[in-house]
Structure 1
């Protein structure tokens, strides 16, 4: 396989400061912890990132999915009935894994500690509303009154807004779309994003809303609820075409254009063609939410990892060879994908550290231009 990208350098002084003016960079818990990460483990990783990787631009630390699911017997990545929700049907951190969340604090204290480290705090969320909230028929919070949402001389609840025929395709027990044609549906989404802002969230990774699960109504409706800037990431991105990417690029800062990338050469190799197509469509660094948007090739599964949807944390090294790892981060850099490292940094080996902090690759990732395929196989 041969794939060559033409890249041109650009000076830092030429770059306007704007939201996501270059591809975002950081760390995400999924590749190393799946859904099981605890507050202690997260903050340990954040501290090391602040000390060792922030100087190389890795500024976001993101709690990936199911931070609200209790880690108990019977719970797994698609189980039902183990989530922690508040009286308004909103997901809140599992207090056993996130003890600082007790007393209705949510992620407030975690976000403050992250900010004190000089980092930015992000969370993964699913589209719509949880099946658990719909089954419980929780009321909907009207943030303007602090009471249950009322319209048409009636109070509205979760069962009024949940669209049971539009469940998430890869987590059908977990979440379903919200009816955004209803005032109650809009009120629910507004209550979610108001809560995230109160917690101090800087990045929201919204899942099951793009690619084959595209829900433009929810994407656009959420933007109407935002009262302060966040880095807005859309995921996953299976079956993405340039036309589909153009539809969402102006509403986000990064959006996944591939399925989950794990530590196999087949996964890495599948990214070459989609990178080429999105580059040819002039979508790298296109206009996005309050700044730029970036096609996202997914996290870098390097270093110390776990397994997809596992119920355990990091326990093995990446299966990619040294050459495959170099190829992956080189492609990601040339394609100007966001660089989100996935390994447990508490066990960060020197070879992986040198790779993800390579000054030449990081300069290409941030400041190159005119990125496109320049030669093809003969």
Structure 2
């Protein structure tokens, strides 16, 4: 039987993650400010998760230092990661993240936490006892198959029965804190991406069956329901049954950043994975690197997103039609009005949250055409994407789509393009890298 609570992730999760804008150096004050913004401006549109990403246990870490193997790391007496009180003052005196999570819950939001697979090297070096067992850290871990980009963790040896006990112990702690969402990292295949053209240039860690099942089992044993997200990404679709059995969402690519070549490549990945989306289990196209990104990992510090407005529309249209989880990467406290408008389009959010059928209907060298359907409301959505660097005219004979559409009530969800239908042929000319989504009511 699956560990999932039946009420978790019945639609693609919507929220915010601290990675794109703050990397490993986010503070409690910054996290709270973003949570307050979500509660006041986005919660009404369905946004609910605020996720604390990598580094909450690393004192004085920055995006240039966290990959070093000798960077200071904080653990408790059982070798479990604990928050840094300099960055998270409310965690002092053994309180952990509970005070911060209580703050998030009081706003009516859900709290997410990033974890790495394995056990801290520091715990192995100190030979920390594994809670509830007679074993110590050195007996359940080895220093092979380590994460290629975070060098502070050892691999758990699941041939030892108490390797599972370590995962059980950390989720016991997270349940006490009140965690609602887990982003488990370095458990899934990833491909390093060349941002200039989106092509893969190398490979990293494989699909970690033991860790994924161990984390899944630990969640099922703890006293709190938690949504599970797997990261980074690039698994084969042949793993779909294992993914659905053990996770609510899983990344389909390496970290996605604000470069047109990466977005164009993501169109292919979304087309591959969209047919496998189902309630409770969602292929994840990664965070939305839009808005202001002060201390992120890619593209420089204190900068706005590299995406043009047209590319931003394409990003949102693609993620929503593919029914990917929506995780904003910007510093919400500095959102401009345009970016805020991208996040509060109720019709497009409806596509993402309510459609139960979606797929790429037509692939052309210069453009893609997507179709999605809300079978309850009997609404049909058609998305048109210009992949070329020049203006492109697209036409679609509506007799050729799989579902009948009504022509008396049609509109473009952003109000940017007119509806032009000539003898049942739908026509549009899109600017370079631009897209449009039309809703056909029954």
- Answer whether TM exceeds 0.5 for this pair: yes
C-alpha deviation, 1:73, in angstroms: 8.5
The TM-score with structure 1 as length reference comes to 0.86
2:273 to 274, 278, 283: 278
Residue 182 (structure 1) shift:
1.8
Residue ranges of structure 1 left out of the alignment (5+ in a row): 1-16, 143-148, 151-155, 287-291
CA distance 1:373–1:74, change in 2 (3 Å): closer
Q: How does 1:325-364 map to 2 (within 5 A)?
A: 325-364=312-351
Residues 1:293 and 2:263 aligned together: no
**Residues in 2 aligned to 1:257 and 1:124: alpha-carbon distance in whole angstroms:** 17
Runs of 4+ residues over 4 Å off in structure 1 = 72-75
Equivalent position of 1:96 in the other structure: 86
Aligned residue number for residue 188 of structure 1:
166
- Cross-structure match for 1:209: 187
CA distance in 2, matches of 1:341, 1:306: 14
Whether the aligned pair in 2 keeps the contact of 1:168 and 1:213 (CA below 8 Å) is no
Pick one of 129, 137, 143 that aligns with 1:158.
Answer: 137
| Whole-Å separation in 1 of the counterparts to 2:346 and 2:126 | 52
Asked if 2 retains the 8 angstrom alpha-carbon contact of 1:249 and 1:255, the reply is no
- Partner of residue 12 from structure 2, selected from 23, 28, 46: 23
Match of 2:215 among 208, 222, 227: 222
The Cα of 1:242 is off from its aligned counterpart by: 0.9
Query: What per-residue deviation string (whole Å, max 9, x for no partner) do you get for residues 162-194 of structure 1?
Result: 1211211222x2222211232221111111000
Paired with 2:259 and 2:97, the residues of 1 have a C-alpha distance of 34
Q: Which one of 243, 246, 250 corresponds to residue 251 of structure 1? A: 246
Counterparts in 2 of 1:73 and 1:309: CA distance versus 1, 3 Å? closer
For residues 107-118 of structure 1, the aligned pairs below 5 Å read: 107-118=97-108
- After TM superposition, give the deviation of residue 308 of structure 1 in Å: 4.7
Which of 119, 122, 125 pairs up with 1:129? Answer: 119
Q: Pick closer, same or farther for the CA change 1:36–1:112 going to 2, 3 Å.
A: same
- Within the candidate set 342, 345, 367, 2:354 is matched to 367
Deviation (angstroms), 1:214: 1.4
Unaligned residue ranges in structure 2 (runs of 5+): 1-5, 190-204, 366-442
Does the alignment pair 1:49 with 2:28? Answer: no
Higher helix share: 1
2: CA distance between counterparts of 1:376 and 1:335? 15
Q: Paired residue for 1:265, among 260, 264, 276? A: 260
CA contact (8 A) 2:55 2:61 kept: no
- How many Å separate the matches in 2 of 1:74 and 1:18? 36
Q: Does 1:167 align with 2:146?
A: yes
Q: TM-score with structure 2 length normalisation?
A: 0.74
Match of 1:10 in 2: none
How far is the alpha carbon of 1:138 from its aligned partner?
A: 1.5
Contact 2:266 / 2:285 at 8 angstroms: preserved in 1? yes
* Cα deviation, residue 22, structure 1: 0.3
SS of match in other structure, 2:144: strand
- Superposed CA deviations along residues 299-318 of structure 1, whole A, max 9, x for unmatched, are 000101045547x9x61110
Which fold has the larger relative contact order, with Cα–Cα distance below 8 Å and residues 6 or more apart in sequence? Answer: 1
Instruction: Tell me if 1:87 matches 2:77.
Output: yes
Q: How many matched pairs? A: 340
C-alpha RMSD over aligned residues: 1.8
Partner SS for 2:233: coil
